[in-house]
Structure 1
Amino acid sequence: MSKFTDYQFKPFLRDAIARLGFEQPTPIQKEMIPLILKGSSAIGQAHTGTGKSHSFLIPVLQRTDASSDEVQAVISAPTRELASQLFNELQRMTEGTEVRASLLIGGTDKQRSIGKLKTNPHIIVGTPGRIRDMAENGALAVHTASILVIDEADLAFDMGFIEDIDQFASRMQADLEMYVFSATIPEKLKPFLMKYMESPVHVKIGERKPLTEGMHYSLVPVRSLGKRKKLLEVMEAINPYLAIIFTNTRQNADELADFLAEHGVKAGRIHGDLTPRERTRMMKQVRDLEFQYIVATDLAARGIDIPGVSHVINFELPDDLEFFIHRVGRTARAGNEGTAITLYEPSEDDKIVRIEKLGIPFIHEDVKNGEWTEVKERHARKKRVKQEDELDRKAAALVKKPAKVKPGYKKKMTQQMEQIKKRERRLARKHGKR
């Protein structure tokens, strides 16, 4: 199907898709929607920003029987924020219909959640731990559900939730259809998938947006200032709509946010140590544009959709370089441009080299007096020395020692070698290989 109007969707779903402004399915939607409509278990491998959520929300809603009083589908998301976003989207799409959905997430009143389940919802959206909890104490009748969607499966695995999912999945129907969505499929996740999925269709959308599209990658040397002071310099030189500053640990995120506050910068913070109430309040403040900067850790930020990010600043480089890709993928979305600024110290050169091998075209820049200036590549001196060594070897190979040596022959050979090197440098300049 090349357009959403080509599908025979229920009227309320057609209206919802029109309200969303969707005309043509994205590649992941084009592949996954027919599979879910048909009931074929499948793995959808695609990166954030590819339209994954609607590739399962739309067909699950199409297959939901509003006249039934049973739970028909369970949608699991690894973080409360992500589960809340999916639930809110589901509510928007089912407004004015008989379709019932319930949100089950940790950090909320358990008794109230149990109360909401007195009438069986048709669709459950929630975090793995709370869904398991409700299923095990008998408040949630998952045994009637024939569809299980696992969103951000690799993140669920990283956060240790696969056992929770396994516990409630085993209570669901024997002919369970499972739809797994993930940016990557870690090797250690495969035994779990094989337990529930027999020869699933594996849809892999390799067209992650080119890393260079709409992006400016700035590589900024820290030098003698120290990272925190260099960060302040960088912040004075940019005026972001919204910037996420990434650190590697929760403690570093708090310390950096405190440091920024001491220097008059009000920054939000998103990490795993926030209480549910703090996280909810923080996300509301972010959406209300109370912050121009957010300090975040990788796992906490990956499960949250933060719209309008114009800049990403890598205060620390991640140990797992896949997280670098996730970080910079936070900006330059939906056709907008974005800037990723990476602060680095000489000791981090190995990581920078590995990131460059991922296809990141860094531009070597620095901030001086509030202005951006391009600086020499960090390997410029090494390259120069290497080029000179190559020229010396080439010239030495071309200038032969005469069969009969005369006084001053060494001086003459040196002059010939210098002439060859001059000629080679001239040719290199002419072809832009300086």
Structure 2
Amino acid sequence: MLFSSFGFKKYINDTLFDIGFETPTSIQNKVIPLIKKHKNVIGLAHTGTGKTHSFLLPILNNLDLNVSFEKRHVQAIIIAPTRELAKQIFDNIKPFQKQESKITCGLFIGGEDINKNISNLRKTQPMIVVGTPTRIKELYEQNELRITTASYVVVDECDMIFDLGFIEDVDFMISRVNQNVVISLFSATIDENLRPFIKKYLKNSIFIDDSESIPSTKNVEHILIDTKNKEIELVLSNLVKSINPYMCLIFVNSKDNISSIVKILRKNNVGHVGELHGNLQPRTRMATLKKVKNNDFKYVVATDVAARGVDIEGVSHVISINLPSDSNYYIHRSGRTGRSNLKGKSYVLFNIKNQQRIEELKNKGIEFSIQKLVEGELIDIKQREQKKKKNNLNLDTESKIVISKYKNTKVKPGYKKKRKDELEKIKQKRKREHIKESIAKIKKEKYKRRRSELFGD
């Protein structure tokens, strides 16, 4: 199926052609026809599956573009949990505005000058409102942004909105919109605490579960690095020495871990290192994200909250410093790489305590290879074991008995050295025997030649 099959207006098809969109993703195939027909939708989908355009395209298609400048009103509200994600959605609308100049869109996020927002709103109300919950609510309460006329409301990354404590602001805004509004809610997971909100506003909704569609998994190699008793600094240092990324995102579970990871990277002279986390000032975060998108950093250390939902091009490697408590967050992380038919690698520094989470991810269809730090190098454990087995096949019976002795009995400290010494003795013994056999063979050949010369036989 192609995008042209949805029956979009000409300017949408022209824009899709310009930006190189031909074939819709799984979530787009399921959601676009529903929103286009004014149906309420609850969509479960991971980052990187194309859900932004699954709601943008039908809304853009259904906009009333024939209203006069004086009568322009808010027709759609798109609510995002973070400034970065709101800005990204806003930027995704811009190509369509180039093809259709009548479309107006306003971005309303924290950290921006609210007086500038008010000044623009007093000139005209935008057809599409994109923003964060607190700023949209603030402008509505000041009677500057008139959201009550909206025909569509989209709540993107709803689970994250709940985690950040914005669900009450969203509840407040939706309760002010007309009763016939079409509501779309997108989330990676549906938390039990979200159900009252869903029951209140999305009674007649169609549930689309596309969470099994893991983004870019066929292009991503998932690698577990066994840390065991080794320091994170040692493992990470050796890892960054062994890769040469175009861009590498390093995820931590807490913003408190950011500084220590940045310190390790700088000690290894990897160049400029970027940071994305909640402690950054709004302007600094936006400036950092701009640099990230301009590929000014080779390594970026981030928290899940700061980087969630933000589309960053050119990520060749992802490193997770330990696994997140929610396995879905790992899918978000690894989904940052392997996009646009490019290959990517996702490394996880893990230990035995993470085994249950690893099993959860395996059940979701993710296949891991395991690597281990050996003498400063990362070695694929399977290859290493195969090499050992191959070498063991060539061992003599006496050597195999020695290996078996130390393998199957309770050993004392220093057993490795004892085993090595015993094997070395056997090796030297075999070497002497080989030399003796060679000498005997040479003498035999000489005897045969001499006999042939004397007796002609």
Say whether residues 1:89 and 2:92 are aligned partners. yes
**Equivalent in the alignment of 2:8:** 9
Asked which structure has the greater CA Rg, the reply is 2
**Equivalent in the alignment of 2:290:** 284
Pairing 1:62-211 to 2, within 5 Å after superposition: 62-68=61-67, 69-95=72-98, 96-118=100-122, 119-209=124-214
Q: 1:347/1:10 Cα in 2 relative to 1: closer, same or farther (>3 Å)?
A: closer
Contact between 2:48 and 2:215, CA under 8 Å: does it hold in 1?
A: no
SS in 2 for 1:213: helix
TM-score by length of structure 1 reads 0.82
User: Structure 1, residues 327-349: CA drift from partner, whole Å, max 9, x if none?
Assistant: 11221223222111111234444
- Which whole-Å CA distance do the structure 2 matches of 1:317 and 1:47 have between them? 17
Contact between 2:217 and 2:366, CA under 8 Å: does it hold in 1?
A: yes
Letter in 2 for 1:197: L
Say whether residues 1:216 and 2:221 are aligned partners. yes
Q: For structure 1, which runs of at least 5 residues remain unmatched after alignment? A: 386-434
User: Structure 1, residues 281-328: CA drift from partner, whole Å, max 9, x if none?
Assistant: 111111121111111111111132112211111112212222222211
- Which whole-Å CA distance do the structure 2 matches of 1:36 and 1:191 have between them? 22
**Equivalent in the alignment of 1:318:** 324
Say whether residues 1:47 and 2:46 are aligned partners. yes
**Equivalent in the alignment of 1:274:** 280
User: Structure 1, residues 61-103: CA drift from partner, whole Å, max 9, x if none?
Assistant: 1111123311111011111111101101112211251111100
**Equivalent in the alignment of 2:454:** none
- Which whole-Å CA distance do the structure 2 matches of 1:58 and 1:19 have between them? 15
**Equivalent in the alignment of 1:235:** 240
Choose which of 217, 223, 226 in structure 1 pairs with 2:231.
226
Contact between 2:226 and 2:373, CA under 8 Å: does it hold in 1?
A: no
Letter in 2 for 1:261: R
- Which whole-Å CA distance do the structure 1 matches of 2:182 and 2:212 have between them? 26
- Which whole-Å CA distance do the structure 1 matches of 2:353 and 2:48 have between them? 33
1:211 is displaced (CA, Å) by: 7.8
Q: 1:184/1:109 Cα in 2 relative to 1: closer, same or farther (>3 Å)?
A: same
CA RMSD of aligned residues (A): 2.5
User: Structure 1, residues 189-217: CA drift from partner, whole Å, max 9, x if none?
Assistant: 12111111222111222551488522222
- Which whole-Å CA distance do the structure 1 matches of 2:3 and 2:361 have between them? 38
Letter in 1 for 2:87: S
Q: 1:36/1:224 Cα in 2 relative to 1: closer, same or farther (>3 Å)?
A: closer
Count of residues in correspondence between the two structures: 382
Letter in 2 for 1:373: I
1:377 is displaced (CA, Å) by: 10
Letter in 2 for 1:150: V
1:370 is displaced (CA, Å) by: 6.5
- Which whole-Å CA distance do the structure 1 matches of 2:56 and 2:360 have between them? 37
Give the 4+ runs in structure 1 shifted more than 6 A: 376-381
Structure with the larger helix share: 2
**Equivalent in the alignment of 1:415:** none
- Which whole-Å CA distance do the structure 1 matches of 2:180 and 2:56 have between them? 21
1:366 is displaced (CA, Å) by: 2.8
TM-score by length of structure 2 reads 0.78
Q: For structure 2, which runs of at least 5 residues remain unmatched after alignment? A: 387-403, 409-457
